[in-house]
Amino acid sequence: MIKSLFQLFASSMGYIIITTIHGLYLEKITIPEKDNTRTSFLYLYGALTFYSFLCTVFSLVCLRIFSLNMLPSINKLYLVFGSIFHTLTTTISLTSLAFVAYPVHILVKSIKPPLFMVFLVFFSRRRFRIDDLLCGIFISVGVIVFMDDKISTFTINNQGNILLLLCLLFDALNCLMIDKLKTTGRFNEYQYMFWANFVCMILNIMLFILFCALEQFEKLLLLFYISEVFLYSFTGILSQLLNYLIVRWFGPLVGTIVATMRKFISVFASIIIFKHRFTPNRLLGIFMVIMGSIKLIHVEITA
């Protein structure tokens, strides 16, 4: 038990720190063109293409090192749908950043664990637990408290919120596919990492080319802040790998909860570094979701 808790603490802290840095570089990439939506898309899809490319290469190297096949022997359909859902949630998630600030982006996505639990109950025959329901309600109320505090100071329009809701749906479906793969006993994070990022890379290359055609060509010269995009991509590779390892060791729900806790650390970091406005409501909302997430982890581990 102590060894498992230490392993969870070490992997979770590594994931939280690295992914927080990853998110801060993402916000830094989009800030200069926040008032020009099409140029923001160009920045976002360009960065995501490069990031997905590096993740694809990294996972392919790992498959070769460990002499693993690119495709699992069974349940290929779960891998296909998981890759599609990963691509949709990642692309839609980044698209929303053209309309909403990063703190709102990650706060809304914190509703994913309760939504994922509902999916598990209905599609994976997971036993319903009242503690899960209460924690989910507590987390959702925390998000509402945060969002109720003059959200117009954070958002440009409601398009971003609609995109975030779609992102939540596909994110929960992606986690469900990982759960299906894991329950077969043949889940391999490198296979999943390769195909999920390969599909994501293909889609974002097409989107990048589209917005290159729509925008003036000389803006490409301003597109890549080389150090920012590289560090965004490199930290993204590490965060994906740590996330898959947490899922393998402790299950998709714990991985989802840890990812949610990371989001709130990122909120604090973003508000402080990029000088977003602090208010009592936002602090209360963040506190409620962190406490709800910690309780969810405790319920999941001790179940």
Query: What does pLDDT average to over the chain?
Result: 78
Q: Is 276 helix (H, G, I), strand (E, B) or coil?
A: coil
Residue 185: pLDDT band (50, 70, 90) is low
- In the chain, what percentage of residues exceed pLDDT 90? 9
In terms of pLDDT, which residue wins out, 187 or 84?
Answer: 84
| Weakest mean pLDDT among 3-12, 128-137, 239-248, 292-301 | 292-301
How far are the Cα atoms of 6, 111, 113 from residue 88, in angstroms, in the given order? 34, 18, 18
Q: Which of 78, 95, 62 is nearest to 203 (CA)?
A: 95
Burial label for 151, CB within 10 Å (0-12, 13-18, 19+), is middle
> Position 196: which residue type?
A
Q: Look up residue 94 and give its two tokens.
A: 């980044």
CB atoms within 10 A of CB 217: 8
Instruction: Write out pLDDT tens, residues 132-151.
Output: 778 878 888 887 787 765 54
Check if the beta carbon of residue 243 is closer than 8 Å to that of residue 75: no
For residue 180, what are its two tokens? 């299906």
Q: What is the distance between the alpha carbons of residues 29 and 229, in angstroms, rounded to a whole number? A: 7
pTM above 0.75, yes or no: yes
Average pLDDT over residues 47-67: 87
Confidence band of 152 (pLDDT split at 50, 70, 90) = very low
